[in-house]
Amino acid sequence: MSSVQIKSPDSAQADAVNDAPPDTATADTRKSSRLSRETLNIAGVFLLCVLAMLAARWINPNAGGYQQLETILVLCSFLVVVAFGQGLVVLIGGLDLSIPSVITLGGILTAVWVGADGGIVKTCAVLAACAGVGVLNGLGIGIFKVPAFIMTLAMGIIVYSLCLGATGGSPNGVSPKALTWLMSGRTAGIPVIVIFTVIGAVIAYLVQSRTRFGIRLYAMGSNPTAARFAGLHTLRLTLMTYALCGLLAGVTGMLLVGYSNGATLRMGEPYLLPSVAAVVIGGSAISGGRGSFLGTLAGALLLTILDMIISSLGFSQGWRTVISGAIILFAILLQHEGAMDYLRSLKGRNSTT
């Protein structure tokens, strides 16, 4: 009697790679080209950050000093955290529009329920609630096949409505002492939140680029069908990704409470478009399968600097939203093959003439 050998996901994936036709030279060329393109994109965004700082210095001679650089890094920390979660979702071809509401949920629960003397148990419960919203998003998308846009938008409306009903429109409460210290404390003259952000950035880079979880997200985003045939549990990955995105949105809400010593119902709204813009500016494909955390980090820093410039010019929040939307559109157009072919054709015409 013949026996059936059940292979693990890793061995199945390895067999799929080994059985593929040998075309090592082409694969290596494509890989090196992709790495080169991503590296150049990240370097270009960081260069834009430097140019933006020089422009801010030109607009306002008092800008660009250590104090303002410190303020930029503190404000950038909020966007870096939430953009990391959004970047993971985009990596698998999704999009999380419930982020503003989950930020608000985390902030309100922290200020109203945890309070000044709240302990680690309540803090973990708040983070679990925010991650639970992400799990519900993942269930709707992974099991019931609801489009990510619709599912996360609906969950965002539900969560915001619950926050509105529970607080009566005016949440009270104060920041826990630990969060206040995190946002205002200093170690060796450096803001504590900046140190934590640097440590968190290193961890985020390793998670997305060096762990088995991150590599599987790339595979799933590139081709979900092939990922399933290779033995990857795409539903589990979807649940974990959206749960992590919700968790990070909750962390952002907590940090905002520590920064402002309170919570509002609209505290998460300014982070929806920038979280997407930071990911797209960093080179992530909105269709999934391509991106890097270093690019997301560079995009978040650039947006924070631009926001500072806009504020120094006296523009309103509406102009900030317009600029964020324009940046997203421009970045997506540059990623589109048709647009790139058109630019190459223009370059070819110029060279011939």
Provide the residue ranges of all domains of the chain, joining segments of one domain with +.
78-269+284-295
Residue of 157 and 68 predicted with greater confidence: 157
Query: For residue 9, what pLDDT is reported?
Result: 39
Query: What is the mean pLDDT of the segment spanning 90-95?
Result: 97
Where is pLDDT greater, at 25 or 147? 147
DSSP state string for 150-207? HHHHHHHHHHHHHHHHHHTT-------HHHHHHHH-EETTEEHHHHHHHHHHHHHHHH
Cβ neighbours around 48 below 10 Å, total: 18
Q: What is the pLDDT of residues 197-256, one digit of tens each?
A: 999 999 999 999 999 999 999 999 999 999 999 999 999 999 999 999 999 999 999 999
Nearest C-alpha neighbor of 249 from the set 75, 96, 72, 73: 96
Once rounded to an integer, what is the mean pLDDT over residues 28-32?
50
pLDDT, tens digit, for every residue of 250-294?
A: 999 999 999 999 999 999 999 999 999 999 999 999 899 999 999
Higher pLDDT, 3 or 35: 35
Average pLDDT over residues 122-136: 97
pLDDT level of residue 102 (50, 70, 90 thresholds): very high
pLDDT, mean over the chain: 86
Query: Alpha-carbon torsion 142, 148, 151, 157, what sign?
Result: positive
- When pLDDT is averaged across residues 171-182 and rounded to a whole number, the result is 93
Whole-number pLDDT of residue 307: 87
Contact between residue 131 and residue 250 where contact means Cβ atoms under 8 Å apart = yes
Cβ proximity of 116 and 135 under 8 Å: no
Q: Which pLDDT score, from 0 to 100, does residue 85 have?
A: 98
Locate all alpha helices (DSSP H) within 20-65, ordered by sequence: 24-59
Work out the number of other CB atoms within 10 angstroms of the CB of residue 271: 23
Q: How far is the C-alpha of 277 from the C-alpha of 211, rounded, in Å?
A: 25
**For the residues 160-178, what does the mean pLDDT come to?**
94
Phi-psi region of 289 (alpha: psi -120 to 50; beta: other; left: phi over 0): left
For the residues of 277-327, what is the DSSP string, one character each?
Answer: HHHHHTT--TTSS---HHHHHHHHHHHHHHHHHHHHTT--HHHHHHHHHHH
Q: Please give the share of the chain, as a percent, with pLDDT higher than 70.
A: 83
Q: Rounded distance, CA 151 to CA 158, Å?
A: 11
Residue 336 β-bridge partners? none
Q: What is the largest CA-CA distance in the chain?
A: 84
| In the predicted structure, residue 30 carries a pLDDT above the cut 70 | no
Both structure tokens of 212: 């088995």
Which of the four pLDDT bands, split at 50, 70 and 90, describes residue 350?
low
Average pLDDT over residues 163-178: 93
pLDDT at 17 (0 to 100): 39
pLDDT at 326 over 70: yes
236 against 3, higher pLDDT: 236
The predicted structure's pLDDT at residue 72: 93
pLDDT confidence of 134, banded at 50, 70, 90?
very high
Name every residue whose Cβ is closer than 8 Å to that of residue 115 and which is 6 or more positions away in sequence.
Answer: 173, 174, 176
Tokens 């429109």 appear where? Answer: 169
**25 pLDDT more than 50:** no
**Does residue 3 register a pLDDT over 50?**
no
For residue 21, is pLDDT > 80?
A: no
Per-residue pLDDT averaged across 15-24, rounded? 43
- What is the Cα 314 distance to its own chain's centre? 28
pLDDT of 348: 65
pLDDT tier at 20 (50, 70, 90 boundaries)? Answer: very low
Residues 6+ apart with CB under 8 A from 233: 9
Pairwise CA distance, residues 107 & 113, whole Å: 10
Q: Is the pLDDT of residue 196 over 60?
A: yes
Cβ(308)–Cβ(62) below 8 Å: no
Q: What is the pLDDT of residue 33?
A: 54
